C-alpha cells in the first residue's frame, strides 16, 4: 500500500518518535543490566571478605551461586560470568565514589556518580585495560562517539590513547582521562602516526599515491573514524589554478569543531622539504580564496611513510599552527613498535 503524500509528514514524524523510543528502551535495558551486574559483583566481593580462606571460599561461593542462579534464571550465570561481574565491581568501585544502593525490596537505585552508559560487552573490554587513565579515556570516547564494540576494539588496537598522548604534557594526558579528546586548536586534531590498517595494504607492497588515495575513498567511513571528531568529506583531487598552472590537492575535508578546511596530501616514502612547501602553498590558497568570514585558518596534513623531525622543524616557522606532517602505517604496529614511537624524539614532552 502506498502512502498518501498528504500523510507522508505524519508517517515520518511517528516513525522518528518510535525509533527514538526504541533507542531509549535499548539504552535503558543495557544500563539496567550493567547496574545489576555491578551490584551482583559487589555482593559477591563483600561476601568473600567474610570467608577465612578467601580464595577457596570465593571459588566455592561462585560455583554454588552459578548452580542456583542458572537453575532459576537460565543462561548467563556461569562461574566465569559471575567472576567477570566480581572483577567488574572491583575495577569500577575504585573509579566510582558512591556505589549503587539497594532498598529494602532489593530494588537497585542509582547515585549520580555511578552511571554506566555503555553496554556490558563494552565494559568486558574496558575492564581488561589495566591503566585506569587509559580505560577512562576509551570509556568517555565510546560514549561521546557512540562507538560500537568493534569500533572500540579497533581504536584500542590502534593505540589511539597512546598516539594522542605523544605530544602532550602530563596535565594534558590527565585531561584525556577526565574529559576525552578535546579539540580547541589545530594541534589537537593531529595524530602521529595514523593507522590505516583497514585498507588491507601490505606494509611492503608496492602501491602508488593514487592507489592509496583510491583505497581511502573506498573506505571513507573507516578513514573518518581514524581522522577523529568533526570531520566531513569535501572532495578528492581538488584543482587549484593560477597563472595557467594546475595543482591538485589529494583530499579535502572540513572540520566542524574548528570551523576550518583540512587538506591532506599523501606521500609514498620519505617526506621532502618540497612536500612541505607545496602544502604551504595549498593552505595559503585556501585561506585567501576559499575561506569564508568567520572560518578559521586552513590546516594542512601531509601523510608520509617516513620523515625527519629536523627537516620538518627547520622547514616550518617556529610558530607554525597550520602545517603538520605525520607518519602512517598500513598495518597495525606491534606493541613494541608503539613503545618505540613513544620513546622516540617525536614523543611526548614532560
- Given a cut of 80, whether residue 265 has pLDDT beyond it is yes
Query: Confidence band (pLDDT; 50, 70, 90) for 14?
Result: confident
**What distance in Å separates the CA atoms of residue 111 and residue 11, rounded to the nearest whole number?**
39
- Given a cut of 50, whether residue 84 has pLDDT beyond it is yes
Q: What is the largest CA-CA distance in the chain?
A: 86
- Given a cut of 70, whether residue 325 has pLDDT beyond it is yes
Mean pLDDT over 254-272 rounds to 95
**What is the tens place of the pLDDT at every residue in 141-164?**
999 999 999 999 999 988 899 888
Mean pLDDT over 244-262 rounds to 95
**What distance in Å separates the CA atoms of residue 72 and residue 80, rounded to the nearest whole number?**
18
**What distance in Å separates the CA atoms of residue 89 and residue 236, rounded to the nearest whole number?**
49
Domain(s) of CATH 3.40.1350.10: residues in the chain? 186-335
Q: Does residue 235 sit in helix, strand or coil? A: strand
Q: Please list the residues that pair with 326 across neighbouring strands.
A: 303
CATH of domain 186-335: 3.40.1350.10
CB count, 10 Å around CB of 165?
A: 21
Selection from 171, 142, 347, 315 nearest residue 229 by Cα: 142
pLDDT at residue 258 in the model: 95
- Given a cut of 70, whether residue 122 has pLDDT beyond it is yes
Q: Tell me which of 102 and 326 has the higher pLDDT.
A: 326
pLDDT at residue 350 in the model: 36
Q: What percent of the chain has pLDDT over 70?
A: 86
Q: Are 38 and 92 in contact (CB under 8 A)?
A: yes
- Given a cut of 70, whether residue 109 has pLDDT beyond it is no
Mean pLDDT over 327-337 rounds to 81
Q: Are 305 and 269 in contact (CB under 8 A)?
A: yes
Which grid coordinates are listed for 190?
Answer: 593531529
**What distance in Å separates the CA atoms of residue 258 and residue 188, rounded to the nearest whole number?**
10
The mean pLDDT value of the chain amounts to 85
Q: Tell me which of 230 and 109 has the higher pLDDT.
A: 230
**What distance in Å separates the CA atoms of residue 182 and residue 32, rounded to the nearest whole number?**
29
Mean pLDDT over 312-324 rounds to 92
**What distance in Å separates the CA atoms of residue 121 and residue 149, rounded to the nearest whole number?**
7
Query: Confidence band (pLDDT; 50, 70, 90) for 99?
Result: very low
- Given a cut of 80, whether residue 180 has pLDDT beyond it is yes
Residue 5's φ and ψ, nearest 5 degrees, are -60, -30
CB count, 10 Å around CB of 333?
A: 18
pLDDT at residue 320 in the model: 92
| C-alpha dihedral (261, 331, 221, 233), degrees to nearest 10 | 20
- Helix boundaries (H) for the chain: 8-48, 54-73, 79-92, 120-126, 132-145, 149-157, 160-165, 170-179, 209-218, 220-227, 273-285, 309-315, 335-342
Mean pLDDT over 24-36 rounds to 86
Q: What percent of the chain has pLDDT over 90?
A: 51
**What is the tens place of the pLDDT at every residue in 191-237?**
888 999 998 887 666 788 999 999 999 999 999 999 999 999 999 99
Q: Is the pTM value of this prediction over 0.75?
A: yes
Amino acid at each position: 500500500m502506498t502512502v498518501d503524500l498528504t500523510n507522508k509528514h505524519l508517517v515520518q514524524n511517528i516513525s522518528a518518535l518510535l525509533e527514538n523510543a526504541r533507542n531509549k528502551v535499548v539504552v535503558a535495558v543495557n544500563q539496567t543490566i550493567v547496574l545489576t551486574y555491578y551490584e551482583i559483583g559487589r555482593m559477591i566481593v563483600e561476601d568473600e571478605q567474610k570467608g577465612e580462606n578467601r580464595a577457596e571460599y570465593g571459588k566455592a561461593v561462585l560455583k554454588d551461586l552459578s548452580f542456583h542462579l542458572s537453575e532459576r534464571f537460565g543462561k548467563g550465570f556461569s562461574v566465569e560470568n559471575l567472576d567477570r561481574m566480581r572483577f567488574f565491581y572491583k575495577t569500577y568501585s575504585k573509579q566510582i565514589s558512591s556505589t549503587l544502593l539497594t532498598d529494602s525490596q532489593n530494588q537497585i537505585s542509582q547515585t549520580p556518580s555511578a552511571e554506566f552508559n555503555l553496554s556490558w560487552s563494552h565494559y568486558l573490554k574496558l575492564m581488561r585495560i589495566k591503566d585506569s587513565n587509559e580505560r577512562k579515556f576509551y570509556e568517555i570516547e565510546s560514549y561521546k562517539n557512540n562507538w560500537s564494540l568493534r569500533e572500540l576494539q579497533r581504536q584500542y588496537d590502534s593505540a589511539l590513547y597512546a598516539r594522542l598522548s605523544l605530544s602532550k604534557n602530563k596535565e594534558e594526558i590527565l585531561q584525556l582521562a577526565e574529559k576525552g579528546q578535546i579539540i580547541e586548536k589545530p594541534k589537537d586534531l593531529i595524530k602521529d602516526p595514523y593507522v590505516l590498517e583497514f585498507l588491507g595494504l601490505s606494509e611492503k607492497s608496492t602501491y602508488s599515491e593514487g592507489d592509496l588515495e583510491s583505497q581511502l575513498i573506498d573506505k571513507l567511513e573507516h578513514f573518518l573514524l581514524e581522522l577523529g571528531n568533526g570531520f566531513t568529506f569535501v572532495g578528492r583531487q581538488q584543482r587549484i589554478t593560477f597563472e595557467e598552472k594546475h595543482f591538485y590537492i589529494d583530499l579535502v575535508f572540513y572540520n566542524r569543531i574548528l570551523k576550518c578546511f583540512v587538506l591532506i596530501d599523501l606521500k609514498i616514502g620519505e617526506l621532502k622539504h618540497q612536500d612541505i612547501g607545496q602544502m604551504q602553498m595549498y593552505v595559503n590558497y585556501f585561506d585567501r580564496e576559499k575561506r569564508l568570514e568567520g572560518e578559521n585558518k586552513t590546516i594542512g596534513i601531509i601523510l608520509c611513510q617516513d620523515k625527519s623531525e629536523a627537516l620538518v622543524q627547520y622547514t616550518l616557522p617556529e610558530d607554525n599552527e597550520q602545517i603538520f606532517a605525520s607518519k602512517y602505517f598500513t598495518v597495525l604496529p606491534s606493541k613494541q613498535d608503539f613503545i618505540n614511537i613513544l620513546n622516540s624524539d617525536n614523543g611526548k614532552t614532560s
